[in-house]
Every structure is written in C-alpha cells, then in structure tokens.
Structure 1
Amino acid sequence: MIRLYVFAEGQTEQTFADTLIKPHLAQHEVFIHYPRLIAHARKNGKVHRGGGRNYAPMKNDILRSLKEDSNADVFFTTMIDLYAIAPDFPGLIESESLRQNPIERVEFLEQRFAEDISDYRFIPYIQLHEYEAYLFADPTCFEYLDARRTKEIEALQAIANQYETPEFINDGQQTAPSKRIIAQFPDYGKSKSAFGPQLAELIGLEVIRSRCPHFNAWLSRLESLKNYCNNSLETV
C-alpha cells in the first residue's frame, strides 16, 4: 500500500484533491491522506496554512513532514500555482529565460524544487498557471452556474480555442485563468473553493487530462507509485 500526502496551495486544490484525485488514485492502490494546506508562515510556534507566496515556510513544512513519516512507502506532493509563485522560489530567476515555453519552464522549476528538498519521496507539482486552467478543458461546465449565460460561456470557449492547451493561458494579473472566468462569472470569485471542484467534477478527470498534458504527466506518475516501489524492492 502506498500512502501519499498532498500539500495544497488553497482550499480549491484541497477539495479537488480530496474529491477527485483521492478516489481515482485509490484504484491504483495509492491512498491519499486528507490533503493539507501548505504552510505560508510560522509565528509564535504556530503554523499558518494556505497560500504559496513564501517559499521558506513551504519548504520547512515539507521537510518536517518528511522527517515525521520516513517510511519508504509514503510519498509527498504539492499542488501550488506558477501564477504569483513565491519570489524566492528556487530557480525562479533562471526560469525567466524559458518563459516562452511554459511546460519546459515549470518542469525546470519542479526539478529545482525537488533538488532543494532532496528526498526521492517528494514529487513536486506546480500548476500551469493555476487551478482554473483545468476548467477551460470544457467551458460548457459553466452552465452549472447559469445555463442562460450562453454569451459568457462562448467567450470562455473562445479563449480556450486560442491555446493548444488550457495550461498555456497566460499568467498576467488580468489574464490569468481565474481572472478571465471572474470577468464572465463574477460569482465564481466569491465561492471559487466550492465551485472550482464542482465544475471540475462535471468535466471529469479524463477530459482534464486529455487537455492538460502537464497535469496528466503528474497524475500518471502518482498512479505508478506502487510499481515504482515494487521495482525498487526487487533491486534491493
């Protein structure tokens, strides 16, 4: 049995991991503990969670968890956004030269993240560019919010059609995926932690995977953890 800890940037990712990814990975004998919000600060001995804007508390949170559970059959992963990532994130300055190739850039940052944590059980995942990109895999899901708003849904579909993958929708302050959604559906911004996972569930993991290759690569790696452990034991 493989156990997996997920460090989520916010409540939207936390709920998405719990309601969609957790039951899916259980079919592959990978069992997620209740996803936890990643730390953003530690004050007076108390850890404050949610948000990924400060790197040091995130790193310390992960290292502490790795130390607390050092078994070979337990793994750790993240769900944090590339959008507005911590300015002191390892490799961020160097990654600027890769900005025109978002997947190559995010893979470079994940590699630097893994090197900084330095534990084979840690599998970093950085979302391109944020969670809401998944919802552009099928914008008709927004009929759930208001089926009468066909023009707004068509506007989101037109945005999705401009990109090879929703993961390429850019990360400007007004053009990030969430900002584009809120421009058409303001209510989403007020309840994104509830609506985000519900809309993703309507779309379905397989559709999201088919449209978001970086997300698919991460999920595929998590699915293979049992085989990875079995192969490692065979070579000992």
Structure 2
Amino acid sequence: MIRLYLFAEGQTEQTFASNLMTPHLANYGVYLNKPVLISHGRKKGEIHRGGGQNYAAMKQDILRFLKQEKSRDVYFTTMLDLYALPPEFPGFMAAQTYRNTPYDQVAFLEKSFAEDIGDDRFLPHLQLYEYEAYLFCEPNHFLSIEPGGTKGVETLQTIAGQYESPELINDAPQTAPSKRIIAEFPKYKKAKSVWGPLVAQHIGLPVIRQQCPHFNKWLSSLELLGQV
C-alpha cells in the first residue's frame, strides 16, 4: 500500500482530510497518514504549526519529512490556500501575470512549489482560493448546523450561482469565500474547524469533485498513486 503525508494549512483542512479523504483513498490502496499541520515557525527549538504565511518554515518542514521518509512508496502533498500566500512563495510574482486565469495561476504556483522542493514524491496542491470554496457547492447544508439560517443560505446560493465553479469565488479581503460565509453565519468564524468539515461531509466528495475541477484533478492524481 502507498503511504501519503498531507500538510494542512489549518485544523479545518486537517479534519476534512481525515474524515473524507482518508477512507476514500483507502479504496485505492493509498493510506493517508494523520494529516500534519504545516509549520509556520520555530521558537526555542519547538516547531509551531498551522497557517501558511511563512514559506521558509513550510519548506523546512516538508524537507524534514522527505529526509525522514526516503522510501519510494511514500508520497507527500499539501492543502494550502492560494488566498494570502506570502510574497516569498516560489513563483509568486511571476504568477501575477495569470491573475485573470485562476486555474493557470494555481497550476503555475504548484509547479514552482514542486520545483523548489525538488523531490518527485512531492505533489503539492493549492486550494482555489481557500477551503471554504467547497462549502459553496451546496450551501443548504449549513442548515444542518444552524436551522434558522435560511436567509444566509439563500445569499450564499446566489453568490455561488454567479460563478462557473465555487473555486472561482474571488480572493479579495472582504469577499473571499470564508469572509462571505462569516457575513451570513458569524458563528463560523470561531467554529470553522468544526463547521467546515461537517458541512463538507454533508455535501460529500462526489458533489465537491463535480463542481470543483482543480480539487477533482488533485484527488484523481492521489487515487492513481495506488497504481504505481
């Protein structure tokens, strides 16, 4: 069986991967280890984890795992947000030429990331534009957590209807997916690590894959690892 390490930006992605991706990938002969929160720094010898704002710390963390796990049947991937990547991220400035074609932009950044790490077992994934985009696939499932949120659901459905894919909901500071959700469901801000995975679980991987082509491409590539 292929083993896979996943570096998650936060607890929301970590729980999503554990609850939805782990059992799914097992069907393809891919064992997903407990997702690891990516490092954002080190203080007094202790690694601090969570967040994707310090590329040097992220790179060092990934390289450490690659060095520890040298087997050819071990692979590594990421769940990091394209939204608010640090300027020192590989290819960040060059990728700005693709701002109007988000799928090209994220592909360019993932390629630059992979080249900078320099190990063909590393298969990076950046989320367009952040995890919360997946929750716009079927916003009605927010009602399973907040039954009185019908108006908020309708607003989120209207927003989703304006885009070809939830992945294309933009990355402006006040209109990124998470900001739009918080505007309608303020409790989400402090409970995102619980609400986010629960809503996604109600939506289900098939629906997310159907509506989010970049996510689907990534998950498909992980499934294929089991055939290596």
TM-score w.r.t. length of structure 1: 0.95
Shift of 1:87: 1.6
Write the letter of the residue equivalent to 1:212.
C
| SS class of match (2:93) | helix
2:54 matched residue in structure 1: 54
Structure 2 unpaired stretches of 5+: none
* 1:20-78 CA distance string (max 9 Å, x none): 00010000010011101000001222111000001000001000100000000000000
Task: For 1:102 and 1:142, locate their aligned partners in 2 and report how far apart those are by CA, in whole Å.
Answer: 27
Write the letter of the residue equivalent to 2:88.
D
Shift of 1:148: 2.7
Q: How does 1:60-209 map to 2 (within 5 A)?
A: 60-209=60-209
Write the letter of the residue equivalent to 1:75.
Y
Task: For 1:152 and 1:54, locate their aligned partners in 2 and report how far apart those are by CA, in whole Å.
Answer: 34
More helix, by proportion? 1
Kindly indicate whether the alpha-carbon contact (under 8 Å) linking 2:6 and 2:78 is maintained by their aligned counterparts in 1: yes
Task: For 2:60 and 2:146, locate their aligned partners in 1 and report how far apart those are by CA, in whole Å.
Answer: 42
Task: For 1:117 and 1:164, locate their aligned partners in 2 and report how far apart those are by CA, in whole Å.
Answer: 32
TM-score w.r.t. length of structure 2: 0.99
Task: For 1:135 and 1:222, locate their aligned partners in 2 and report how far apart those are by CA, in whole Å.
Answer: 22
Shift of 1:144: 1.2
CA-based RMSD = 0.7
2:224 matched residue in structure 1: 224
Give every structure 1 segment of 4 or more consecutive aligned residues whose post-TM-superposition deviation is greater than 4 Å. Answer: none
Write the letter of the residue equivalent to 1:185.
F
2:36 matched residue in structure 1: 36
Greater displacement, 3-12 / 139-148: 139-148
Shift of 1:145: 2.3
Q: Do structure 1's residue 215 and structure 2's residue 215 form an aligned pair?
A: yes
1:233 matched residue in structure 2: none
1:5 matched residue in structure 2: 5
Task: For 2:127 and 2:12, locate their aligned partners in 1 and report how far apart those are by CA, in whole Å.
Answer: 13
Kindly indicate whether the alpha-carbon contact (under 8 Å) linking 2:7 and 2:77 is maintained by their aligned counterparts in 1: yes
Structure 1 unpaired stretches of 5+: 230-236
2:14 matched residue in structure 1: 14
Greater displacement, 69-78 / 141-150: 141-150
Q: Percent identity?
A: 60
Task: For 2:69 and 2:90, locate their aligned partners in 1 and report how far apart those are by CA, in whole Å.
Answer: 24
* 1:183-205 CA distance string (max 9 Å, x none): 00001111000010000000000
Shift of 1:143: 0.9
